[in-house]
Structure 1
Amino acid sequence: MDHQDFAMGNWLVVLAYLTSVVGCALGLACTLQARSTDSPRARLTWLVLAAVSIGGVGIWVMHFIAMLGFSTPGLPVRYDILRTALSAVLSVVAVFCGLLVFGVRNRFAWKRLLLGGLLTGLAVAVMHYTGMWAVQIKGTIGYDPVTVVLSVVIAVVAATAALWFTVGLDKLLPRLAAGLVMGAAVTGMHYTGMAAVRLHLDPAAPDPSGTEVFSFLFPVFVLAALAMAVPICAVLMATSSSEAPRHTTLVP
């Protein structure tokens, strides 16, 4: 049986995409800082901030904004909170692993780029399908395997391209392009993954347990704001310090 992914209009797609772009662009900016520092501790700190921005905001928050448009006409949709929280943790951890491979050295290498892109793209897919595992309906949810594979390929290819753009993030256009490409990876993967969904609804089944998506949206947005505040401040401070004029001592 068909479901609706655009029940609240196309504006929701735009909002989801912009949310993903902001989170991913900020995370990629943190990745650039990680690649440009010589301190192992500072590098890990930047990569953690990048993983929170990309995995927590660019992927996880985007997913639940987009899921506001998911409905089973005339039947309730609920979410398992523990599985939802697990999807957030897996998203951040998986993104961190991908960024760790790519950003652990400041020297570019194709091998690290391809492996980092693969892991980061898989992180997008892991978050999506774990998040869908949290969805409870009157019936069961299945997937078309071909479309699932296509969604994973989209995520991996676009994530790899976004990481490649970070090599030139010292300029404005590559920064914007990286965020736009990574946002396209996340959003494109989400809606391709939703196209793979096959619902088997049973109106006679008992109502699903769990929480409505609107019930936990406010705490999600609060967490997203906090998750972005720290990286934003860190990036601004790092940029300011790097652009500060250096004083030289004149020797007579």
Structure 2
Amino acid sequence: MSTPGFSPALVVLSVAIAMFASYTALDLAARARGIADGTIHSGTRALWITGAAVTMGGGIWSMHFIGMLAFEMGMPTAYDLGLTLQSFLIAVGVTGAAFAWVGRKGARRHAEWLAGPLMGLGIALMHYTGMAAMRMPGHISYDPTLVAASIAIAVVASTTALWLAFRHNSLAEKLAAALLMGLAVAGMHYTGMAAATFSGDEHVHAGADTVSAAPQTLAFAVTGATFLILFIGMLAIAIDQHRIQGELLASEARFRAAIEAVSGVLWTNDAQGRMVGPQPGWSAITGQTPDEYRDFGWADAVHPDDSAPSIAAWNDTVAARKTFVFEHRVRVKEGGYRHYAIRAVPVLNRDGSIREWVGVHTDITAQREAEAELRESNEEIQRYAYIVSHDLRAPLVNIMGFTSELAETRVELQHALAGHPQAERIDAEFGEALGFIGAAVTRMERLIAAILKLSREGRRRFEPEPLDMSAVIRRLADANQHQADSQQAVVTVTPGMPEIVADRLAVEQIFGNLLDNALKYLDPARPGRITVSAQAIGTERVRFSVADNGRGILRNDHVRVFELFRRSGTQDRPGEGIGLAHVKALVRALGGRIDLESEPGRGSTFTVTLPRGASMEHAAAPLSIAAE
């Protein structure tokens, strides 16, 4: 009988199998975590978990079996088929349960604290079941202390390995998890083997349901089967990785196509906001080389007036870790400067730290040029409107003066034609003509006054200030209280409206006109109800609604009511048709928009959406009446 010991080659083989199987299985199981993030379809989760369980369970079992074959006891040994199969099923079952628990949808943090002990206990149970399957002419006794140590090794190492595999994604951490798991399985096995004491007994026989062969033959057979399983697992990983790579390439292609569709270029900066590495997009528009745009060298291509503000705004954004939104002029390689809108966002690591910045420069030169032309056109129209309306006042005053003289002449004609048979007819026609002239003059005077008012508003510069919108609109409603009472109407202003920063006079004119119109066009058949409310839209805009139960407006007239000097519906209320046109111009000048929903007989709702804060562009923008 030879001296008991271990075959070094089989020991090394068993540990290698444990590590290789651990890496493959942990990678397969980690892919099931994608179900929790919505990155893979739920139907594939069970396949990944099953593959991980078979790979890990089979690898652990193979390591255990080869490890026992490595032990040379100096006596013939066989294995009970039933218990051996049972030990394999235990290994697959407990690892599958552990992976399913950690990788399930909605798994909470520290789920490995339950899955790790489960896997460790399963490994230990598999080991001692496999030991019980040994059939030899002798008995096995165990040292309780070493048995407990082997179980502790399995539990602690399994928990740690699961934490590494399911909480991190780098290759180094995956390798560390596999190394730790492989050592845990091997450590548990050989500690358990050290806990066993074998005593010979010539009267103990293997039995009928056993298998025996040379240790090397069994080891090679088990190793071959194990590596076949691991090869299938690695092949599945490779196929899935190829699929993911294809999706990433397609996504990148779509993203780059989208950037090109909006005349933009893509660039990246490091976590500190410095431009590093190749930036083909930036080079394409500026002609700068990598050495020229490195770090903050890109600022050399920015217009001198915009360079310092761009760097200051960028540094503030990097420090605040927020989205960068800016605009500046860039010197292009063809010569000259073009306007670019910039938007950049931080890309975060799992621990919340910034990995890099991804930004887009979008060419808005054509838009800015069109806006400049439009502003110039508006200014010319406003000057023209002011001149024309001012010059029209002089002949209108003359007409009004001569009309007064004609009224006096009418009295003289009455005396001169006294007793004439046609005197009454002539006087009636004369009076009717004077009435038409007076009405036309009065209307013309109101229209000229309205044009002058719009022209003066167009030259006024806005002065943004914080506004308590509930208080502002409440004061406007109180100013119309007499009109509301006379029509038995109730005006409700929702308290606690979001504050905005805007020109007070412009805001008062907007909502003053809307409240006045709502009261003016109520339905006399029912009590009037007017409600002003507001709702925050994200963090940058507020939507205000002025709703009434008045006459309503035909759908075909929803657009024309905002046109200058255009009105809709029954013309039984005074007005020149400039109120809503003025409101729309003011809303646009403040950087917002106005919409209308209305139905005859049910009422109207005017919705005004305004920015929370005044932008540089709209704070100084003149009022546009030409675009209405």
Query: TM (normalized to structure 2)?
Result: 0.37
Q: Deviations over 1:79-122 (max 9, x none)?
A: 11221111111110111111111111365511x11101011111
Question: Which position in structure 1 is the counterpart of 2:125?
Answer: 126
Query: 1:93 aligned to 2:99?
Result: no
**Mean Cα deviation higher: 129-138 or 239-248:** 239-248
Greater RCO, 1 or 2 (C-alpha within 8 Å, sep 6+): 1
Equivalent position amino acid for 1:64 in 2: F
Q: Counterpart amino acid of 2:14? A: A
Q: Identify if the C-alpha distance between structure 1 residues 5 and 81 changes in structure 2 by more than 3 Å, giving closer, same or farther.
A: farther
Q: Bigger shift: 215-224 or 99-108?
A: 215-224
SS, match of residue 141 in structure 1:
strand
2:4 corresponds to: 4
SS in 2 for 1:228: helix
Give the structure 1 partner of residue 34 of structure 2: 36
Shifted more, 101-110 versus 227-236: the winner is 101-110
Cα gap change, 1:41 to 1:211, in 2 (>3 Å): same
2:157 alignment counterpart:
158
Would the aligned equivalents of 1:4 and 1:69 in 2 still touch at CA under 8 Å? no
What CA RMSD, in Å, does the superposition of the two structures yield over aligned residues? 2.1
| Aligned with 2:206 (options 205, 208, 231) | 208
> What is the 5 A alignment of 1:1-252?
4-6=4-6, 8-9=7-8, 11-37=9-35, 38=38, 39-57=41-59, 59-73=60-74, 75-105=75-105, 109-110=109-110, 112-202=111-201, 204-209=202-207, 210-212=210-212, 214=215, 216-244=218-246, 245-246=249-250, 247-248=253-254, 249=257, 251=261
| Deviation string, structure 1 residues 199-231 (Cα, Å, up to 9, x no partner) | 2321x3144232225454454334323322322
What is the alpha-carbon distance in structure 2 between the residues aligned to residue 45 and residue 121 of structure 1? Answer: 23
Contact preservation (8 Å) 1:122, 1:155: yes
Query: Does the 8 A contact of 1:168 with 1:174 survive in 2?
Result: no
Asked if 1 retains the 8 angstrom alpha-carbon contact of 2:66 and 2:222, the reply is: no
C-alpha separation between the residues in 1 aligned to 2:82 and 2:189? 21
Aligned equivalents of 2:164, 2:108: Cα separation in 1: 12
CA-CA distance at 1:144 after TM superposition: 1.3
How many residues are matched? Answer: 245
Aligned-residue identity in percent: 34
Does the aligned pair in 1 maintain the 2:101–2:107 contact within 8 Å?
no
The 1-side partners of 2:189 and 2:93 are apart by 19
Gaps of 5+ in 1: none
Q: CA deviation at 1:12?
A: 2.6
Residue-by-residue CA offset, 1:155-211 (whole Å, 9 max, x unaligned): 000011111111355211001101100001100000000011022321x31442322
Structure 2: unaligned runs, 5 residues or longer: 263-628
Q: Give me the whole-angstrom Cα distance separating, in 1, the residues matched to 2:126 and 2:219.
A: 17
Q: Which has the higher strand share?
A: 2
Question: How many Å separate the matches in 1 of 2:168 and 2:77?
Answer: 41
Q: As a proportion of its length, which structure holds more helix?
A: 1
Residue 127 of structure 1 deviates from its aligned partner by 1.2
Q: Match of 2:222, as an amino acid?
A: V
What TM-score does the superposition give when structure 1 sets the normalisation length? 0.89
Q: What is the DSSP-based 3-state SS (H/G/I as helix, E as strand, rest coil) of the residue aligned with 1:86?
A: helix
Taking the aligned partners of 2:227 and 2:67, their CA distance within structure 1 comes to 18
For residues 106 and 30 of structure 2, the distance between their equivalents in structure 1, rounded to whole angstroms, comes to 9
Q: Write the distance in 2 (CA, Å) between the matches of 1:52 and 1:206.
A: 34
Task: Output the CA distance in 1 between the equivalents of 2:177 and 2:46.
Answer: 21
Q: Report the residue type matching 1:152 in the other structure.
A: I
- Matches of 2:156 and 2:220 in 1, distance apart? 33
User: Which amino acid in the other structure matches residue 211 of structure 2?
Assistant: T
